[in-house]
Amino acid sequence: MKTRGCYIWAMPPIIVLFDIDGTLLRAGGAGRRSVELAIGEVLNDLDGKVSLESVEFAGRTDPWIVRTALMQYGVTADDGLIREVLRRYVAHLPRELELATAFEVLPGVPSLLAELTARDDVILGLGTGNTERAAYAKLARGGLDSFFSFGGFGSDHTDRAELLRAGLQRGLERTGAQRGTARVVVVGDTPYDVAAARAIGAQCVAVSTGGYDGAELETAGASIVVSDLNSAAVRSAFEPSSPA
């Protein structure tokens, strides 16, 4: 039960960490465009020619994307420069999200989040390569931000397993549970999500609404693979009796 903002857990909690891009929503190119603008500014590219079409974004963390993008332009970035690009990126993002006509919340997402929020034994968090501010900007555009109050982010770590670990730790602190008693379920759309979930001993629900198909996600070792989050099979990951 949840009372006055405090959680009293009658059973071992299930901590769920959701990826964002390709899993909950598609940002319609707003993220890529915002990074291009930010990098254009730091490179003093007045003609706006920066293009990151060849940089892989799916499953990657924002600091990784920025470092890789700068390398494409011959710049070896230190942490200070990456922070500066990310600061500019986040400043551009709300407007680019507003302009992104292809932005969409993916099928089944609002109902699944509402179902899980109503559960007494489930706590919803994020496990995303987005920086925390970018994550909430994207979620707000889709009306999904109020479902989440914690997570692990690209602003915590450039390595996906490490940011999931940070999200899990925050989830444990909120529930007061020990790692040994809580179940952890990661929901993501790329083999990187699956590998990071496995690295922290979590179950992984993989959804093929991003750039990877079901076979690739199965090969990566996902516990459950679904075509979208409307699927009844997703719910099986959250059954109280489901094995950890």
Among 189, 203, 212, 225, binds Mg ion (CB under 5 A): 189
- Minimum CB separation of residue 58 from Mg ion in Å reads 6
DSSP code per residue over 138-162: HHHHTT-GGG-S-EE-TTT-SSHHH
User: Which residues sit opposite 90 in a β-bridge?
Assistant: none
Among 17, 18, 22, 67, binds Mg ion (CB under 5 A): 22
Cα dihedral: 143, 123, 170, 152 (round 10): -40
- Minimum CB separation of residue 51 from Mg ion in Å reads 21
Joined together, the tokens standing for residue 4 give 């006055």
- Minimum CB separation of residue 19 from Mg ion in Å reads 4
Query: Between the CA of residue 11 and those of 217, 227, 234, what are the distances in Å?
Result: 31, 30, 21
Toward Mg ion, which CB reaches closer, 13 or 22? Answer: 22
- Minimum CB separation of residue 60 from Mg ion in Å reads 9
- Minimum CB separation of residue 24 from Mg ion in Å reads 9
Toward Mg ion, which CB reaches closer, 171 or 188? Answer: 188
- Minimum CB separation of residue 43 from Mg ion in Å reads 27
- Note whether 200 and 168 are within 8 A (CB): yes
Among 21, 96, 132, 156, binds Mg ion (CB under 5 A): 21
Toward Mg ion, which CB reaches closer, 139 or 182? Answer: 139
Toward Mg ion, which CB reaches closer, 156 or 189? Answer: 189
- Minimum CB separation of residue 8 from Mg ion in Å reads 33
Q: Kindly tell me the sign of the dihedral angle through the C-alpha atoms of 88, 92, 97, 100.
A: negative
Among 19, 41, 62, 96, binds Mg ion (CB under 5 A): 19
**Under the criterion CB under 5 A, does residue 127 sit at the interface with Mg ion?**
no
Toward Mg ion, which CB reaches closer, 43 or 195? Answer: 195
- Note whether 68 and 54 are within 8 A (CB): no
Nearest to Mg ion by Cβ — which residue? 22
Interface with Mg ion: number of residues (CB under 5 A): 4
Query: Between the CA of residue 157 and those of 35, 129, 162, 191, 206, what are the distances in Å?
Result: 18, 8, 6, 18, 22
Toward Mg ion, which CB reaches closer, 59 or 171? Answer: 59
Query: Between the CA of residue 112 and those of 15, 23, 124, 185, what are the distances in Å?
Result: 15, 12, 11, 14
Side-chain half-sphere exposure of 192, counting CA atoms within 13 A: 22
Toward Mg ion, which CB reaches closer, 61 or 175? Answer: 61
Task: Give me the residues that bind Mg ion (CB under 5 A), please.
Answer: 19, 21-22, 189
